[in-house]
Amino acid sequence: MKYDAPLGRTREIIDICRLVWKRERVTYNGKYYTLPLPADQGTGLGKPLKMIAKPIREDIPVWIASLGPKNVEMTAEIADGWLPIFYMPERAQDVWGADLAAGKAKRDPKLGPLEISAGGLVAIGDDMSEVAEMARPMVALYVGGMGAKGRNFYNDLMCRYGYEEEATKIQDLYLEGKKDEAAALVPSEFLKLTNLCGPEGFVRERIEAYAAAGVSVLNIIPVGGNPTATIEKLKTWVS
């Protein structure tokens, strides 16, 4: 599939979706998409249509999982919510603060505040600090193997967090097929700060850090024998 103009295409697709959800007859003349399809691009029989099914609500939330500066800026401008991966509260402002501010400055007040959903593995207990290590292979996959050299957004993020040397080595090893060696180089600090694993006091501190960094929805993966109890405990702390 051709990869061009991701920002422009994302913006227009969201515009079109919001028109469809309003159950209006959809006509759209964008730079990348035109509805109905012009005669010279189809049969010439296209006409404006509206959705037959009636949605429960017209304002279906749009969340964007973005990482790059311009994409995050656009997310803050037009989306209902943002889904960053490997969110590190302590460094989020340095990495994304300017981009979020630029997008929010152009945001339609009717959208309301931008929601941010982030989190990671959750394990609560005095012997749970090492559970975050379970994320090591996945981080290595994303930072090392998700994309080509010079075109890996997760690698770019680790670099922006201050782990440029480690990110480079992880990618080199992963692309050479040395996945275990790549995983071994994922910084323990990175795992600790992008997950919520450890004694109760530590996990509560992490929740406070996420909230202070603007996270409004915790997106977690409970680890352990009773995930329901873990979720319920977090609910009481968050509330």
pLDDT in tens, 203-232: 999 999 999 999 999 999 999 889 999 999
pLDDT in tens, 110-146: 999 999 999 999 999 998 888 999 999 999 999 999 9
Is residue 1 scored above 90 in pLDDT? no
Can you give the pLDDT at residue 86? Answer: 98
- Percent of the chain with pLDDT strictly greater than 70: 99
Give the CA angle between residues 215, 159, 81 to the nearest 5°: 25
The mean per-residue pLDDT over the stretch 61-66 comes to: 97
Q: What is the pLDDT of residues 172-210, one digit of tens each?
A: 999 999 999 999 999 999 999 999 999 999 999 999 999
Instruction: Grade residue 239 by pLDDT with cuts at 50, 70 and 90.
Output: confident
